[in-house]
Amino acid sequence: MAVSSSSSRKKLLLMGRSGSGKSSMRSIIFSNYSAFDTRRLGATMDVEHSNLRFLNNMTLNLWDCGGQDVFIENFLNTSTNQPNSNNNIFKKCEVLIHVFDVESKEVTKDIEIFQRVLKNLNQFSPQCKVFILLHKMDLIQISKRNELFQIMFTKLQEIATPFNFNITGFATSIWDESLYKAWSSIVCSLIPNISVYEKQLLSFNNVLNAKEIILFEKTTFLVISSTNNSLKNSSDSSNDLDPKRFEKISNIIKTYKQSVNKVRTNFTSLILNGLTSSIYLDVLNDNMYIMIIMDHQDNINDDNLVLENVKIFSKLFQ
């Protein structure tokens, strides 16, 4: 019993120096803040815990660690001086998300702290997955973003290798959809039975013959899984589609959710008969939404037919 409860409970550490945007991220993804609202957030004191239920049986235990030097020193010192104390935040970690401010003046200090955090993690939770986010990318000129990211990422990878960590990096900003991409991959890495979802989606698509089917988590609207018809048929037709579409959809729907909140309600479904394709967004079960994109050209589109199919399919996911 104890084993199963601990395995469904995931501990995520959100670290980084003060002002790098950690709490803003958390508020946007998990608390439905708009990017504009995050200005009101103050400094985080010590550690702020939040427990988030994700996909029914999984609990994300997010530790948002304050980034002032005092707090960081405190975290690092307690873990080295009293390795068994309860205050040791590095114990039993599943994921470390380390945030770097691209505009930071003291890059060497940022990196040094990252190094010390990794050292502690190596000691207390060596199986931890490490993600780095190069945040506030919107403040950099578009032409320079990629280069800057590459330089920073190679440097950080060099630092992580001695500690046997393989790191994954993302360039993010709260003002566009890049944030959703990063968090989607972070959260997906924690879902144990992701291959089951994929298999079921694929078989569903064989029935429906849709252009694309995407699964979303309900509260955060992060992408869990997707299947694309054109991928298996031919390689070139899929290239027409926007590679950032998943994040954009997350972003659009999240904004829509907030706007519907103004009339104090929420939405359950959306059917869009567009110019070239029909889009169906519906509740799949208690914690998932499904989005189906059907092409207009090669099949007779009957909204009811699609929706009935979704109903049948949703029984598989109960």
Query: Residues interacting with another protein, by CB under 8 A?
Result: 211-212, 240-242, 245, 248-249, 252-253, 255-256, 259-260, 262-277, 279, 293, 304
Nearer to another protein, 74 or 228 (CB): 228
Residue 221: phi and psi, rounded to 5, are 55, 35
Give the nearest distance from C-beta 250 to another protein in angstroms: 12
Give the nearest distance from C-beta 147 to another protein in angstroms: 25
Give the nearest distance from C-beta 237 to another protein in angstroms: 9
Nearer to another protein, 48 or 282 (CB): 282
Nearer to another protein, 202 or 241 (CB): 241
Give the nearest distance from C-beta 143 to another protein in angstroms: 18
Give the nearest distance from C-beta 303 to another protein in angstroms: 9
**In what side-by-side order are the strands of the sheet with 223-228?**
223-228, 212-217, 288-295, 277-285
> What is the residue-wise DSSP string for 202-219?
HHHHHHH--SEEEEEETT
Nearer to another protein, 51 or 255 (CB): 255
Nearer to another protein, 65 or 223 (CB): 223
Give the nearest distance from C-beta 180 to another protein in angstroms: 14
Tokens of 252: 């659009």
What span, in angstroms and rounded, lies between the C-alpha atoms of 318 and 307? Answer: 17
Query: What letter would DSSP give residue 235?
Result: S
- Residue 193, CA atoms < 13 Å, CB-side half-sphere: 11
Nearer to another protein, 189 or 285 (CB): 285
Give the nearest distance from C-beta 253 to another protein in angstroms: 8
Nearer to another protein, 87 or 258 (CB): 258
- Residue 61, CA atoms < 13 Å, CB-side half-sphere: 13
CA of 83: how far to CAs of 66, 78, 93, 97, 210, in Å?
A: 21, 7, 14, 22, 54
Q: Which residues of 104-114 are buried (b: 16+ CB within 10 A; e: fewer)?
A: beeeeebbebb
Among 153, 178, 152, which Cα is nearest to 167's? 153
